[in-house]
Amino acid sequence: MKQYLEKLLNQENLSSEEMKQAAATCFTNEITDSEIAAFLTGLRAKGETPEEIAGLVQVIRSQSNQNLTSIPDVMDNCGTGGDGSHSFNISTTAAFVLAGAGVKVAKHGNRSISSKTGSADVLDHLGVSLAFSKDHVEKLLHENNIAFLFAPHVHQSMKRFMKVRQDLRIPTIFNVIGPLTNPVTLDTQLLGVYRRDMLPMITETLKQLGRKRALVINGAGYMDEASLAGENHITLLEKGEITSFTLHPSEVGLPVYSNEQIKGGDAKENAAILLDVLNGKPGAYYDTVLLNAGLGLYTNGKAKTISDGVSMARESLESGAALEKLQHLVTYSQELPSEVI
């Protein structure tokens, strides 16, 4: 580890292979918590590169007990968190809309870290298991188009990193890599970031991780989701090429709402909002999900345009297909042996 720390102190970037070697060392007993802390701090002080982020992500995924590579055309949709908007669980709600429209979604998430309610908090409240096995995930993706992967359950070797992060109490590379560490091999991904300057770097990282197509968003008001409040800044990865554009909700036939109008609350409140949307209750929450699910369908390639995606998302909701995906997930969870849950 010493050689890598010296490079970071000299403001030198690590290659992808060097990052993999350094990260792999962090999973062994050969290294102290202090060295891990110094490594994370050194990366933060220098500024992480796409090669460094991708290298760490690849090692973390290799350590997971739920690596799934056999299911084609799977996507994930989520944000990094950290935008301070206290919005409801937009990507979690949109995930069921995507599944209802025929997209396989491996929804990877955690309990609340920077927000009031994380995806795991709201799904747990709704009765979804946080302990699906690899076989359960595979079965659910085939039968239901959506499964939930609770980050601490699928990344059990990460406990030491989490302790160091808690001790450091400063942002590190881990504040941006959560959505990238899904152990299911993804073909496409919709990802939100709260910092607009990170759009190119995160998109380049997704390219290095082998995504066939990806969309990275910084929403109006610097949200880590697409917002109806105004102009959204977006980068698209397609066939190895990266392009940038902006999107206003009026361009896809949706109204403008302030970010204040999509605030959420605790797990109980956000679960109620999620159910309202899936049951078709109109308003700011519903239209925000339409926009984000529409972008997801465009990212996946199911929709040729974002407008088409919004229309397909509306059909998924109006037909009840999105709600059925949640109900199946809850029923499946209830039927699991108690020792699994």
Does 224 carry a binding-site annotation? yes
Does 82 carry a binding-site annotation? yes
Does 87 carry a binding-site annotation? yes
Q: How many CB atoms lie within 10 A of CB 169?
A: 6
Does 34 carry a binding-site annotation? no
Does 316 carry a binding-site annotation? no
Does 294 carry a binding-site annotation? no
Does 212 carry a binding-site annotation? no
Residues near 48 by beta carbon (within 8 Å), at least 6 away in sequence: 173, 176, 201
d(CA 217, CA 235): 7
Does 250 carry a binding-site annotation? no
Q: How far is CA 279 from CA 8, 96, 286, in A?
A: 51, 12, 10
Do the beta carbons of residue 192 and residue 203 sit within 8 Å?
no
d(CA 48, CA 52): 6
d(CA 22, CA 16): 10
d(CA 317, CA 341): 29
Does 253 carry a binding-site annotation? no
Strand (E) or helix (H) holding 191? strand 188-192
Does 25 carry a binding-site annotation? no
Q: How many CB atoms lie within 10 A of CB 128?
A: 23
Do the beta carbons of residue 229 and residue 207 sit within 8 Å?
no
Does 61 carry a binding-site annotation? no
Does 112 carry a binding-site annotation? yes
Residue with tokens 């110094």: 38
Does 16 carry a binding-site annotation? no
Does 225 carry a binding-site annotation? yes
Does 109 carry a binding-site annotation? yes
Does 33 carry a binding-site annotation? no
Does 91 carry a binding-site annotation? yes
Residue 152 has which token pair?
């601490």
Do the beta carbons of residue 289 and residue 313 sit within 8 Å?
yes
Residue 98 has which token pair?
């995507």
Torsion, Cα 337 121 291 245, to 10 degrees, reads -110
Bridge partners of 76?
189
Does 138 carry a binding-site annotation? no
Do the beta carbons of residue 69 and residue 185 sit within 8 Å?
yes
Instruction: Summarize the annotated binding site for Mg(2+) as residue ranges.
Output: 91, 224-225
Instruction: Summarize the annotated binding site as residue ranges.
Output: 79, 82-83, 87, 89-92, 107-115, 119, 165, 224-225
Instruction: Summarize the annotated binding site for 5-phospho-alpha-D-ribose 1-diphosphate as residue ranges.
Output: 79, 82-83, 87, 89-92, 107-115, 119
